[in-house]
Amino acid sequence: MSKIVLSKQFIQNTVKLALNEDLFPDGDVTSDLLNNNKIINCNIIANENALIAGVSFAKETFNLIDNKIKFKILKNEGSLVKKGSKIANIKGNAKNILMGERVALNFLSHLSGIATKTDMLKKKIGKIKICCTRKTIPNMRVVQKYAVKVGGGTNHRFNLSDEYLVKDNHIASSNIYDVVSLAIKNKKRKKITVEVDNLSQLKKIIGLNFETVLLDNMSIDDIKKAIKIIKNKHEIEVSGNINQKNISKYKNIKIDRISIGSLTHSVKSIDYKLEI
């Protein structure tokens, strides 16, 4: 998988886009009404239990607006915090702090939501890997997949070039044996994953030389049957409507990973506030 590197330059560029969205074309017209010279001291506070992610994005938000603003991190990235915990202390020009408030909190809220959910699911499933997918917000994939890693999850392929993933519509457009065989022939050190949604499809590809079988939307009984057919020849991944309520059913099944699109496409953000 393409390596995700959150360099300072990447964080700056991402935050710049967010600030431009919030401030174009006339800036913060409401905060401009304040006394430019007033210095305030405030805290970012968690309004619920959370696993923190996105602190560096919040810090960079204020730094880009006014590098004289002092941003003191009180809880580090990846920390588990209780409701009411102070995450960071901010001191500086009132107008400039309020200008960056929502962008900073949005990064913290969204990334912490992903990290918190990943952590929660990981604890329910033990050693099985929890993976995100490509079901991400456009232009936010790197950031979202980073948050999954903060929460203890595993990144699936980053983009379409990373690996071969033969899915249902590829199979519907061709013959499963032929398309997998062609992927093997052309793999060039790329990983091959084959998605199947029934045992008949699985039996057609057993014996071919590829890495992972993705069992999609299969019942627990069929997953157990598939495991017997696979016989440790491939890594086993499962997916399809797996969530907090039903994930524990998979804990004692001999699978390697579970991929969950909702980690990124419909996650609940964590509620933070900036309090003066």
Q: Per-residue pLDDT averaged across 37-47, rounded?
A: 96
The average pLDDT across 240-261 equals 96
Residue 1 has a pLDDT of 42
Per the structure, the count of domains in the chain is 2
Residues 92 and 32 placed together within one structural domain of the fold: yes
Cβ contact 86:210 at 8 Å: no
Residue 160 in tokens: 């379409």
Pick the closest to residue 90 from 43, 142, 148, 128 (CA basis).
43
* Model pLDDT for residues 208-235, shown as the tens digit of each residue: 999 999 999 999 999 999 999 999 999 9
Write down the pLDDT at residue 35: 80
Residues 60 and 117 in one domain: yes
pLDDT (0 to 100) of residue 187: 87
The CATH number of whichever domain residue 13 belongs to comes to: 3.90.1170.20
In one-letter notation, the amino acid at residue 13 is: N
Answer yes or no: do 90 and 141 share one domain: no
Q: Is residue 2 part of a domain?
A: no
Q: In the prediction, which pLDDT does 182 show? A: 96
Mean of the pLDDT values across residues 179-191?
A: 94
Any domain includes 20: yes
Q: What is the pTM of this model?
A: 0.95
Its domain, for residue 226, covers 125-265
Phi and psi based region of residue 12 (left: phi greater than 0; alpha: psi -120 to 50; beta: remaining): alpha
Residues 147 and 260 in one domain: yes
Pairing of strands 70-73, 86-93: antiparallel
Q: What is the per-residue pLDDT across 103-133, written as a single tens digit (0 to 9) for each?
A: 999 999 999 999 999 999 999 999 999 999 9
* 216, 112: one domain: no
Does residue 79 share a domain with residue 64?
yes
